[in-house]
């Protein structure tokens, strides 16, 4: 009887843990779970207005932009908006000393001036469908995890083939898992491949505040860029062609000039990347106490080198701007995440839930399969912890380094050919490698890379047990007296991969083309100074392959052994939680599939004695102006517009130019660029960040601290029109005044 009372109280306690503003909801289920609550908060539309497969809905105006962001359509001519940091790579690739679009911005004044971006795609969801029954067909509890996954993979392939056949191979078809592999959905999408850069503000606007302001509030960043989708004559996806026409969408967002007030309803619609809301305390402890601190330290070492080089030289700034932003983003996010989880006492809260779960599992004989989950979690994390750390060191100190990218590009191609290869094979390889190395060296600085290498090789050596060290480290020990700086200098002086002249000479002369019959008859054979040994004995290649050997033989086997165990435990723990808390509405973790989150515009208190307003204005940009710091050097024209208060129709009713606002929507990485929509379905902003105090929302959501940061759409329009002089783009849009 006592146990049953505990369980009843437990249900009350746990059910109260899901707050109304928490959740990354699948739009297909809004009618079932959310629409009533959304309408209570002020939403004036229906679930079908958000997601419908039979008529145009908001989902038809939202897309995956590139490989990790969201974008939204804002005109009937295929014009889309996303974040500046999402389009940053494309802006950087079009930039040069002569055309520094990063510093100066870019505005196409007509469609002919829009810039193509080979490889950039946008992806629209056509529909999603629950296929759990099909995917789990033939799967039994008696199967091992390996047998289970083999069967599931076969069922996924069969399902994808069936859907592809149904649509005549017209769409991208993918199956994704939810609730730790307890549920499966098929996603059918349309991919467009001709996407052109239309406009981007100067980085002093689009990246205003740089790393200092990243993840912070108050925020004054004009984080947006504009692109246009092109299609063929039938409005279907096509690769780039001058003959393509602007895409005509089913739906695009009208834009509200009304602005927002505290308490206003907000909806974020996009593709959040990854969350881990249901992981056990052991995983949280490993992340916060071991993995995050190591990754922060490594990236800090990289950033010190890059930041100094970028501050010292304009050309280096252009080369490394995109790389620096990518490194810094995670570096700062993990710091905020650790801080937030510690403040929330996340590990302790997870342990309390686990204690209650164990009580529940042991209280009923029908729960037999759940009794050993937590003890088994403990055992497997005790084994896997060191190997997960080593895996992350391998990624940060080896796999992500540019030096290894160039070594991989060249060696992968040239080790597949030799003197016996046909001239056709040799020419094809040469062409591939020349293209890749040319692109690589365009954004590469040898000294910057060498100094990064020196920092991280020592961190890898000191941060891990010797059993994870590459054997090639013995070269540093025996040939260079244990001095890693001297060892790195030796590598950079002698590797052909790190000397563009030597590398080009190798590419041009190895393998030598086959000689004709007459050459063989009358000319003496000239021996090439290069061979396969040139690659195999190269000091950088030797170290790289030594890292790979350490990874594949010392790290990966244990990870491959423990990962299925953890996957199995995660699946059963998730099922147990849902069975224990039958009255709770669960939302699935983010996995870069289309989601809805909703909430209200709100203030917050990050710490004692501090209260933040819900919006910022252009006043704050002018206050931060510092011509000596790149990230705070306000463009002269923006200051002129401010001094004249020349805000046009984009000013708030209080007369000021609003820049950003915050709300309590649940967001994650991948929501960058997501449309932020008001109660009437109008675009009011573009989501671009979270407050630092709330970055732990990927693991544990706190409604008091978690705030998504949104660019006020009126500021973006003001920049396009008044600063960029591209008012013709405003004419394409539907403005709601």
225, 322, 546, 672: the catalytic one is: 672
What is the model's pLDDT at position 418?
Answer: 81
Residues 6+ apart with CB under 8 A from 297: 459, 463
What is the model's pLDDT at position 18?
Answer: 43
Low-confidence stretches of the chain (pLDDT < 70) are 1-20, 513-528
What is the model's pLDDT at position 3?
Answer: 42
> Is the CB of residue 11 less than 8 Å from the CB of residue 5?
no
Q: Which three-class secondary structure state does DSSP give residue 708?
A: strand
Q: Which three-class secondary structure state does DSSP give residue 101?
A: helix
Can you give the pTM of this predicted structure? 0.90
- How far apart (Å, rounded) are the C-alpha atoms in residues 311 and 362? 61
| Torsions phi, psi for 508 (to 5 deg) | -70, -25
3-state SS, 29-87, equals: HHHHHCHHHHHHCCCCCCHHHHCCCCCCCHHHHEEEECCCEEEEECCCCCEEEECCCCC
What is the model's pLDDT at position 328?
Answer: 94
> Is the CB of residue 199 less than 8 Å from the CB of residue 106?
yes
CA distances from residue 717 to 209, 255, 594 in whole angstroms, order as listed: 20, 10, 26
- How far apart (Å, rounded) are the C-alpha atoms in residues 389 and 683? 43
- How far apart (Å, rounded) are the C-alpha atoms in residues 430 and 507? 6
Residues 6+ apart with CB under 8 A from 99: none
21, 60, 100, 223: the catalytic one is: 223
pLDDT tens by residue, 682-720: 999 999 999 999 999 999 999 999 999 999 999 999 999
What is the model's pLDDT at position 633?
Answer: 94
What is the model's pLDDT at position 417?
Answer: 86
Q: Is 672 designated active site?
A: yes
What is the model's pLDDT at position 513?
Answer: 61
CA distances from residue 334 to 337, 353, 388, 712 in whole angstroms, order as listed: 5, 24, 16, 26
84, 85, 658, 666: the catalytic one is: 85
What is the model's pLDDT at position 423?
Answer: 85
Per domain, the residue ranges of the chain are 127-192, 281-575
Q: Is 85 designated active site?
A: yes
Residues 6+ apart with CB under 8 A from 557: none
The residue assigned the tokens 């380094």 is 401
């Amino acid at each position: 009887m006592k146990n049953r009372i505990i369980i009843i109280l437990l249900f009350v306690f746990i059910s109260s843990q899901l707050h109304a503003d928490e959740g990354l909801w699948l739009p297909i289920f809004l009618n079932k779970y959310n629409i009533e609550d959304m309408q209570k908060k002020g939403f004036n539309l229906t679930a079908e207005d958000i997601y419908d497969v039979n008529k145009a809905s908001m989902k038809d105006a939202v897309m995956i932009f590139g490989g990790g962001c969201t974008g939204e359509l804002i005109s009937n001519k295929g014009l889309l908006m996303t974040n500046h940091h999402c389009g940053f790579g494309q802006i950087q690739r079009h930039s040069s000393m002569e055309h520094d679009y990063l510093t100066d911005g870019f505005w196409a004044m007509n469609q002919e001036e829009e810039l193509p971006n080979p490889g950039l795609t946008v992806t629209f969801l056509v529909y999603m469908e629950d296929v759990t029954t099909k995917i789990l067909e033939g799967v039994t509890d008696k199967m091992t995890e390996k047998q289970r996954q083999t069967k599931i993979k076969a069922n996924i392939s069969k399902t994808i083939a069936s859907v592809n056949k149904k649509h005549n191979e017209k769409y991208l078809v993918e199956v994704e898992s939810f609730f730790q592999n307890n549920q499966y959905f098929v996603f059918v999408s349309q991919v467009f491949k001709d996407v052109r850069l239309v406009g981007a503000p100067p980085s002093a606007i689009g990246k205003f505040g740089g790393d200092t302001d990243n993840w912070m509030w108050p925020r004054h960043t004009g984080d947006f860029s504009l692109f246009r989708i092109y299609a063929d004559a039938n409005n279907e996806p096509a690769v780039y062609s001058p003959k393509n026409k602007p895409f005509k969408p089913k739906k695009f967002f009208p834009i509200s000039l009304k602005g927002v007030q505290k308490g206003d309803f907000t909806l974020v619609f996009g593709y959040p990347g990854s969350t881990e809301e249901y992981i056990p305390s052991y995983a949280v402890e490993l992340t916060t106490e071991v993995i995050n601190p190591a990754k922060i330290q490594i990236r800090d070492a990289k950033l010190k080198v890059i930041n100094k080089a970028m501050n010292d030289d304009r050309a280096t700034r252009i080369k490394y701007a995109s790389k620096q932003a990518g490194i810094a983003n995670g570096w700062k996010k993990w710091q905020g995440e650790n801080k937030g989880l510690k403040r929330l006492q996340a590990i302790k809260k997870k342990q309390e839930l686990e204690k209650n779960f164990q009580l529940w599992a042991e209280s009923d004989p029908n729960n037999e399969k759940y009794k050993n989950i937590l003890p088994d979690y403990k055992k497997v994390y005790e084994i896997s912890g060191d190997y997960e750390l080593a895996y992350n060191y391998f990624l940060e100190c080896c796999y992500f380094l540019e030096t290894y990218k160039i070594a991989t590009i060249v060696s992968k191609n040239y080790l597949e050919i030799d003197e016996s290869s046909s001239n056709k094979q040799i020419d094809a390889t040469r062409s591939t490698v020349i293209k890749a190395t040319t692109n690589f060296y365009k954004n590469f600085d040898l000294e910057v890379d060498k100094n990064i290498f020196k920092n991280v090789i020592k961190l890898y050596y000191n941060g891990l047990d010797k059993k994870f060290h590459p054997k090639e480290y013995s070269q540093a020990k025996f040939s260079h007296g244990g001095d890693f700086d001297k060892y790195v200098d030796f590598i950079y002086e002698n590797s052909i991969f790190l000397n563009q002249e030597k590398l080009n000479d190798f590419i041009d002369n190895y393998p030598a083309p086959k000689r004709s019959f007459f050459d063989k008859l009358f000319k003496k054979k000239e021996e090439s100074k290069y061979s396969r040994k040139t690659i195999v004995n190269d000091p950088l290649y030797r170290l790289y392959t030594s890292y790979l050997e350490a990874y594949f033989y010392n790290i990966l086997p244990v990870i491959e052994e423990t990962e299925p165990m953890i996957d199995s435990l995660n699946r059963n723990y998730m099922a147990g939680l849902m069975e224990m808390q039958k009255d709770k509405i669960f939302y699935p973790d983010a996995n870069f599939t289309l989601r809805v989150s909703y909430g209200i515009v709100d203030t917050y208190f990050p710490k004692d004695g501090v209260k933040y307003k819900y919006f910022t204005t252009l006043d704050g940009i002018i206050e931060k102006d510092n011509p000596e710091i790149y990230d705070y050097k306000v463009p002269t024209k923006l200051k002129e517009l401010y001094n004249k208060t020349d805000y046009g129709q984009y000013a708030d009713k209080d007369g000021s130019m609003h820049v950003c606002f915050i709300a309590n929507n649940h967001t994650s990485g991948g929501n960058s660029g997501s449309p932020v929509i008001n109660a009437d379905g109008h675009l009011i902003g573009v989501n671009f960040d979270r407050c630092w105090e709330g970055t732990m929302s990927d693991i544990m959501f706190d409604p008091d601290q978690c705030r998504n940061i949104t660019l006020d759409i009126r500021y973006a329009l003001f920049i396009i029109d008044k600063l960029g002089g591209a008012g013709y783009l405003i004419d394409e849009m539907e403005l709601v005044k």
